[in-house]
């Protein structure tokens, strides 16, 4: 059964979360080009982290394939989330699956690097197209 949480929509970016039994999927589309995306994204990622732990989810899948661009400030918000996720106790932890398109330059260069920050937490899922 699918359960939808409150989506985030701002300045050309949309993130739609949905829960399917033991996992959450975040469908991300548009672009992160605003000057300070952390103002909105950091609290959003924190809320997602809390939801995942409260629901005892096994994984949170972040589908980045339709995200055309993410500036360095946006990438920093993901780094903060990953850094927090890797400190969770095993009973409170979840896998963070980053689905990305290897044909999109920023995704191909950033996602594997993000995965190295927390190899026990991050699962990069490369898609061709």
What would the pLDDT profile of 111-127 be if each residue is shown by its tens digit? 999 999 999 999 999 98
Q: pLDDT by residue (tens digit) across 23-74?
A: 999 999 999 999 999 999 999 999 999 999 999 999 999 999 999 999 999 9
Q: Which residues does 8 contact at the CB level (< 8 Å), separation at least 6? A: 14, 15, 40, 41, 44
Taking a C-beta distance cutoff of 8 angstroms, is the pair 18, 56 a contact?
no
Q: Within 13 A of 74's CA, how many CA atoms are on the CB side?
A: 20
H/E segment holding residue 69: strand 59-70
Q: What integer pLDDT is reported at residue 4 of this predicted model?
A: 60
- C-beta separation of 78 from 106 below 8 A: no
Distance (Å, rounded) from C-alpha 39 to C-alpha 14? Answer: 15
Both structure tokens of 40: 């909105």
Q: Is 86 in contact with 121 (CB distance < 8 Å)?
A: yes
d(CA 76, CA 10): 18
Q: Report the pLDDT value the prediction gives residue 128, as an integer from 0 to 100.
A: 82
């Amino acid at each position: 059964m699918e359960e939808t949480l409150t989506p985030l929509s701002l300045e050309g970016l949309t993130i739609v979360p949905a829960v399917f039994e033991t996992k959450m999927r975040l469908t991300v589309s548009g672009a992160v080009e605003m000057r300070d995306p952390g103002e909105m994204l950091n609290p959003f990622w924190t809320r997602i982290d809390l939801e995942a732990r409260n629901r005892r989810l096994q994984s949170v899948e972040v589908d980045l394939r339709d995200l055309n661009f993410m500036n360095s400030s946006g990438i920093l918000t993901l780094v903060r989330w990953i850094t927090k996720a890797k400190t969770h106790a095993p009973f409170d932890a979840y896998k963070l699956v980053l689905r990305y398109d290897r044909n999109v330059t920023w995704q191909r260069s950033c996602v594997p690097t993000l995965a190295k920050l927390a190899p026990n937490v991050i699962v990069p899922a490369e898609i061709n197209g």
